[in-house]
């Protein structure tokens, strides 16, 4: 049940982000649900690997600045999702960074409200 709730929250975060940010485009809520699923799967499969690579490459600084590292990794994964599916279009990496930040904020607020 938690997985479905998290997926719904992420779907809403994608949809709201696309509604607010001019450089982040998702056509409708159905596409937002699919983008959220794709983002979640990629984040699960390769998000940890990116985190380890960033930590080793920066000699541990990425681990100390985990929030910034996770934010950049989420933006990279969003960029990958946009390159792999026509359901999401991002105008530039700066928009991906803004979208990742906004999605994280929306997810945090939703988690706070649900608890």
Q: State what percent of residues in the chain have pLDDT above 70.
A: 100
pLDDT (mean) for 76-98 = 97
pLDDT (mean) for 61-69 = 90
Residue 115 clears pLDDT 90, i.e. is over it: no
The string over 85-115, giving b where at least 16 C-beta atoms fall within 10 Å of a residue's C-beta and e elsewhere, is eebbebeeeebbbbbbebbeebeeebeeeee
Question: Structure pTM?
Answer: 0.92
pLDDT (tens digit per residue) in 31-48: 999 999 999 999 999 999
Residue 72 clears pLDDT 90, i.e. is over it: yes
Residue 1 clears pLDDT 90, i.e. is over it: no
**CB-based contacts of 33: which residues, under 8 Å, 6+ apart?**
7, 11
Distance CA 39, CA 77 (A): 7
> Where are the domains positioned within the chain?
2-110
Give me the pLDDT at residue 63, please: 86
């Amino acid at each position: 049940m938690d997985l479905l709730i998290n997926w719904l929250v992420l779907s809403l975060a994608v949809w709201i982000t696309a509604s607010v940010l001019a450089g982040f485009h998702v056509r409708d809520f159905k596409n937002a649900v699919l983008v959220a699923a794709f983002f979640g799967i990629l984040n699960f499969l390769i998000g940890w690997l990116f985190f380890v690579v960033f930590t080793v490459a920066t000699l541990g600084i990425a681990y100390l600045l985990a929030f910034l590292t996770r934010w950049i990794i989420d933006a990279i994964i969003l960029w990958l999702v946009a390159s792999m599916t026509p359901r999401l279009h991002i105008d530039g990496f700066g928009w991906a960074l803004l979208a990742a930040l906004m999605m994280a904020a929306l997810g945090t607020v939703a988690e706070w409200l649900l608890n």
